[in-house]
Amino acid sequence: MKQTGLALGNWVGPVDICGMIHLDANATTPLLPEVLEAMLPWLRDGFANPSGAYAGAKRARKAIDEARGQVAEWIGAEPEEVIFTGGGTESVNTALHSLNRLTGSGAAVVSSIEHSAVLRYTETLDREMRLAPVGRDGRLDVAKFSGLLEGAAFVSIMTANNETGVIQPVREARDLAHAKGLPFHTDAIQAAGKIPLHVQELGADLLSISAHKFHGPKGIGALYVRKGLRFSPLLLGGGQEGGRRSGTENTAAIVGMGAAAAAMRRNFSDRSGEKLAAMRDAFEAKVLAEVSGVTANGSRENRLPNTSHLSFEGCEAAGLLILLDEAGIACSAGSACMTGKQKPSHVQLAMGISEKLAKSSLRISFSVLNTMEEAIAAASAVKRAVEKLRRIQGFGVGPVVVYSP
Ligand SMILES: Cc1ncc(COP(=O)(O)O)c(C=O)c1O
């Protein structure tokens, strides 16, 4: 959808999002215009290897250092605590690799709703993997989590879930882990840019973020490593990033991540969160009021302001996505990573949602570049798509169910 001037805060437009109403911000977000502007010179002529000894290389090194400062300032870290990585997955894998290498024997404790970047990597480790359960509201069951820490070696609990948007009790989990002397990583990839993020407040030893989730470029992420924490790199080679992540730096992407972080720091306030929530809530309220047989999943109080996760009785999500795509609405079934696979999402199953309903779920996620008009138009499109699919499938509609723990 062509946007002529953006409605939120100080964000600058216009932005054209592929001719669609893009409501899949948890999958990825468009570049902010100022991020693109910051990157262009580095794509055009700033190709020098930042490790070189000549002027162009030194300029690239300086740009990388500035971007590191921007990311650090945004998350409340020291610049030397920030390592650039090739995206969120690499950041998470690096954190888990380091924890695995440097801790003694014992289990890895992760939540059952982690992103596959955590789950698949942890499964490969030569140690026990303990899955901490969540409740029906999608939040970590802190008591049961606590019971898993005896004989553990390290912990990884995400800050907010990518499918439901449910914010996890990270500080409580960290306190319990630290009380047992266990290092703590948090995958903050979905939280970054949607709620204020401050590493000192969160108190994690390691924290992962990914630029494309907050209007930066893809394929660039960062890992915060608390000063003084022992660290073992995943990628070995030329010794870039102070020996902590080898590989020639992607100057343009790093500059883009820095610019996106600076934009978040400048423009993201509680008001931005309120505006995201206003769009999400208007969308959700209209769908719940006008469509029957809908379940709103996940904690009402503890969720990202931009995410709505809804199950539609009698509607396969795959069918809904096709109809919504035709209507110019881009959103996801459960999580983007699940799209195309027939398996219900592990997150919904962990929450006790039935397999059938899990396959009937949509994730609608807003970014600061969306508008209220888009939220309302999307709700109408969802209503039409659900009605059409149910007509085709001869579905008898049931009552509206709203889960609010
Ligand atoms: C919670 C979470 N962790 C990790 C990732 C992986 O990040 P990236 O796509 O940057 O590799 C994602 C991406 O969807 C995510 O949502």
pLDDT, position 267: 83
CA of 37 to the centre of ligand 1 (A): 25
Token pair of 90, please?
A: 């690499």
Residue ranges of the chain that CATH labels 3.90.1150.10: 2-30+269-402
CA of 210 to the centre of ligand 1 (A): 7
Residue ranges of the chain that CATH labels 3.40.640.10: 34-267
Say what the pTM is.
0.93
pLDDT, position 272: 76
Token pair of 222, please?
A: 């960062």
CA of 253 to the centre of ligand 1 (A): 17
Our mutation pick for probing the ligand 1 site, out of 89, 156, 332, 367, counting the most ligand atoms within 8 A of Cβ, is 89
pLDDT, position 396: 58
CA of 192 to the centre of ligand 1 (A): 11
Atom of ligand 1 nearest to the CA of 158: 1
Our mutation pick for probing the ligand 1 site, out of 162, 339, 367, counting the most ligand atoms within 8 A of Cβ, is 162
- Whether 187 lines ligand 1, by a CB cut-off of 6 Å, is yes
- Whether 92 lines ligand 1, by a CB cut-off of 6 Å, is yes
Residue 263 CA, chain-centre distance (Å), reads 17
CA of 169 to the centre of ligand 1 (A): 19
Token pair of 207, please?
A: 């924290």
Atom of ligand 1 nearest to the CA of 160: 1
CA of 87 to the centre of ligand 1 (A): 8
Atom of ligand 1 nearest to the CA of 91: 11
Into which CATH architecture does domain 34-267 fall? 3-Layer(aba) Sandwich (3.40)
pLDDT, position 285: 97
- Whether 50 lines ligand 1, by a CB cut-off of 6 Å, is no
Residue whose CA lies nearest to ligand 1 atom number 9: 88
Q: Please answer whether residues 211 and 27 qualify as being in contact, where contact means their C-beta atoms are separated by less than 8 angstroms.
A: no
Atom of ligand 1 nearest to the CA of 211: 10
Beta pairing, strands 15-16 & 2-3: antiparallel
CA proximity to 298, closest of 167, 132, 164: 164
Instruction: Going residue by residue through the chain, which has 405 residues, state the pLDDT in tens, using 9 for 90 and above.
Output: 344 344 344 454 445 566 789 999 999 999 999 999 999 999 999 999 999 999 999 999 999 999 999 999 999 999 999 999 999 999 999 999 999 999 999 999 999 999 999 999 999 999 999 999 999 999 999 999 999 999 999 999 999 999 999 999 999 999 999 999 999 999 999 999 999 999 999 999 999 999 999 999 999 999 999 999 999 999 999 999 999 999 999 999 999 999 999 999 998 766 778 889 999 999 999 999 999 999 999 999 999 999 999 999 999 999 999 999 999 999 999 654 445 555 789 999 999 999 999 999 999 999 999 999 999 999 999 999 999 999 887 765 544 444 433
- Whether 117 lines ligand 1, by a CB cut-off of 6 Å, is yes
Q: Please answer whether residues 153 and 101 qualify as being in contact, where contact means their C-beta atoms are separated by less than 8 angstroms.
A: no
Atom of ligand 1 nearest to the CA of 221: 10
Token pair of 264, please?
A: 């978040």
Q: Please answer whether residues 254 and 63 qualify as being in contact, where contact means their C-beta atoms are separated by less than 8 angstroms.
A: yes
pLDDT, position 395: 64
Fold that domain 2-30+269-402 belongs to in CATH = Aspartate Aminotransferase, domain 1 (3.90.1150)
- Whether 314 lines ligand 1, by a CB cut-off of 6 Å, is no
Our mutation pick for probing the ligand 1 site, out of 156, 194, 210, counting the most ligand atoms within 8 A of Cβ, is 210
> How many Å is the Cα radius of gyration of the chain?
21
Token pair of 233, please?
A: 């790199």
- Whether 168 lines ligand 1, by a CB cut-off of 6 Å, is no
- Whether 165 lines ligand 1, by a CB cut-off of 6 Å, is no
CA of 220 to the centre of ligand 1 (A): 11
CB < 8 Å & 24+ apart, contacts of 72-77: 73/261, 73/262, 73/265, 74/197, 74/261, 74/262, 74/264, 74/265, 75/192, 75/197, 75/198, 75/199, 75/207, 75/209, 75/224, 75/261, 76/197, 76/198, 76/199, 76/200, 76/201, 77/199, 77/224
Which residues are CB-neighbours of 51 under 8 A, at least 6 positions away?
Answer: 57, 61, 238, 240, 248
pLDDT, position 15: 52
